[in-house]
Amino acid sequence: MKSGLMSLFRGSTTERKQNVWVASLFAGLGVMSILSMARIFAHAPDLTSSGTFGGAIGLATPVAMAGIAGLVSERAGVVNIGLQGMMVLGTWGGGYFGWHYGPWGALLGGAAFGALGGALHALNTIQFGVDHAISGVAINLLAPGVTRFLSSIFFQGVDGGSLTDSPPVGNLGKLTMPFLAGGRIGSFSTPDFFGYLEKHQIFLISDVSGLCGGFLRDIASETVLLLSIVPLTAFVLWRTPFGLRLRASGEKPSAADSLGVNVVGIRWVALVISGAIAGLGGAWLVINIGKYQQGQEGLRGFLGLAAVIFGNWKPFGVFLGALLFQFTESLRMQLGDNPSRGFVFAVAIGLALFGLFQLFRKSKRSSLILVSISLLLLVYIVNVVRVDDKLSSTFPFLITLLVLVFSSSRLRPPASIGLPWSRGKDS
């Protein structure tokens, strides 16, 4: 049966995969080079500091969890617009169980409540045949009301709690890698290799050191735990029989069914797992600030949905998308009320290079739009002393929009995503 399922996919050769990794490496070095030039041009060391990258990694974690949740669901063929609502349920579950059982209880409670949202989506779409988008929107609308009602019962009137807040939850502490980032071994403080390179402000080397330091210095334990789900998801989807069946259910469910795959069961499992992962993203938010707060999820569920598209329905692509979307927010937090001219310069140069790439692909209209935006930004930063913080606050959304628009031509979603299916029906 496995060989039959494999025939449903056009697998990439080993040589193609190696080419993708090489291209990704050069693209990453190109991005870091642009940021390095911008740092030097604007005298803005915070642009590529370990604090900025570390903040971006933390902020990207709940977005990445929402993205991985959407990936699992959509790889099985079910559109999951309800990620936002599942994160809302996860935040409340994390607040309630974290209050009683600490941060580990918050993670389990968030996953459990998120899974309930996933099960509701499965019931609507798989059992009752409700349109996937309608079901997702309904969950997004329902979840805030449900959590507020639960808060009125369990949190209101309790010491430290209210209608919109839970009592304190606690956290799992932070980790720092010895020798590479200055972590401690017992009472012995080890050298900080990446910190040393970062302080010397060497072109590219210090910037890459800042990135590595962001991953290895003062990183929250729950961040490490949740981000391990990214490679785990990649392994399960592409290296296990269950992952093969799940992907087959999203590509050609009728063919998978003819080969003995329980498509309905697989989709149910995928949606419950999807909800649980989104709920873990919500629980991370609770642990990060030490309590549940109404509305703390912001728009991260929708950003996660955008990360799925940016990442072309692949786990590491989803994480990179989440990191890209949250980098600008982390930089704003580092700089406070003093937005960086260097970052605006980096955005302008990046857009210009992307425009040249579009021209190389013979997309003249896209190239003209991107280069025009780049020139406007360059003219702006040359003629102002201080960047307007309102402008910098739009960059996360601007970058998200531009990336989705201009990467649409390379996207390859699952073939049967969002299509209704029942056993015996060809699709």
For the chain, 427 residues long, the average pLDDT of each consecutive 10-residue run is 61 57 76 81 81 92 96 95 96 96 96 97 94 96 96 92 92 90 86 92 91 92 95 96 95 91 95 97 95 92 90 91 83 65 72 72 75 84 74 68 68 84 64
Q: Is this structure's pTM higher than 0.85?
A: yes
Please indicate, yes or no, if residue 197 is contained in any of the structural domains: no
246 plus 372 within the same structural domain: no
295 plus 354 within the same structural domain: no
172 plus 103 within the same structural domain: yes
pLDDT at 314: 92
Tell me the per-residue pLDDT of 82-116, one tens digit each, with 9 for 90 and over: 999 999 999 999 999 999 999 999 999 999 999 99
Which residue range(s) make up the domain with 363? 336-416
Task: Specify the pairing of strand 184-185 against strand 174-175.
Answer: unpaired
229 plus 139 within the same structural domain: yes
Half-sphere exposure of 176 (CA within 13 A, CB side): 20
pLDDT at 421: 78
- Element (DSSP H or E) covering residue 217: none
**Contact (CB, 8 A) for 223 and 57:** yes
Domain final position from 302, 323, 355: 302
DSSP lists the bridge partners of residue 175 as 219
- The amino acid at 397: F
165 plus 250 within the same structural domain: yes
DSSP letters, 254-299, are: HHHHHTT--HHHHHHHHHHHHHHHHHHHHHHHHHHHTS-BTTTTTT
Which phi and psi (to 5°) does residue 254 adopt? -65, -40
Please indicate, yes or no, if residue 32 is contained in any of the structural domains: no
Tell me the per-residue pLDDT of 24-37, one tens digit each, with 9 for 90 and over: 777 778 778 878 88
pLDDT at 340: 61
pLDDT at 132: 95
pLDDT at 246: 96
Which phi and psi (to 5°) does residue 336 adopt? 65, -125
232: left (phi over 0), alpha (psi -120 to 50) or beta: alpha
240 plus 370 within the same structural domain: no
295 plus 340 within the same structural domain: no
pLDDT at 96: 96
123 plus 223 within the same structural domain: yes
Number of folded domains that form the chain: 2
239 plus 92 within the same structural domain: yes
Listed in sequence order, the residues at least 6 apart from 67 whose beta carbon sits closer than 8 Å to its beta carbon are: 303, 304, 305, 307, 308, 311, 318, 319, 321, 322
Please indicate, yes or no, if residue 247 is contained in any of the structural domains: yes
pLDDT at 2: 60
277 plus 341 within the same structural domain: no
Please indicate, yes or no, if residue 107 is contained in any of the structural domains: yes
Listed in sequence order, the residues at least 6 apart from 2 whose beta carbon sits closer than 8 Å to its beta carbon are: 241, 244
152 plus 241 within the same structural domain: yes
What CA–CA distance (Å, rounded) separates 132 from 116? 17
